[in-house]
Amino acid sequence: MLKPSKHNGTAILLFANSPQEELNNKSIPNGNVLFSGLTKHTLSVVRQTEIPYFHLTEAEQEGNNFGERFVNAIHHIFNKGFDRVITVGNDTPQLRPADILKADRELDRNNCILGPSKDGGFYLLGLHKRHFNAPRFLALPWQTSSLLRSITALFQGLNIRVVKQRVLLDLDNMVDLNSIMASCTIWSYKLRKLLLSFLTTVQATLSLAVVFFNRYFQHYYFNKGSPINTTCLS
pLDDT grade for 52, boundaries at 50, 70 and 90: very high
Please indicate whether residue 210 or residue 119 has the higher confidence score (pLDDT). 119
Strands (DSSP E) along 65-180, which ranges?
84-88, 112-116, 122-128, 162-164
Between CA 29 and CA 172 the distance in angstroms is 11
DSSP 233: G
pTM of the model: 0.78
**pLDDT, tens digit, for every residue of 151-208?**
999 999 999 999 999 999 887 666 666 666 666 555 555 666 666 666 665 544 444 3
- Least confidently predicted of 21-25, 40-44, 88-92, 182-186: 182-186
pLDDT grade for 146, boundaries at 50, 70 and 90: very high
Between CA 65 and CA 2 the distance in angstroms is 36
- In the chain the domains, ranked by start, together with CATH numbers, are 10-171 (3.90.550.10), 191-233 (no CATH)
pLDDT grade for 20, boundaries at 50, 70 and 90: confident
Residue 124 near residue 113, CB atoms below 8 Å: yes
Q: How many CA atoms lie within 13 A of 140 on its CB side?
A: 29
227 Cβ contact list (under 8 Å, min separation 6):
none
Between CA 168 and CA 152 the distance in angstroms is 17
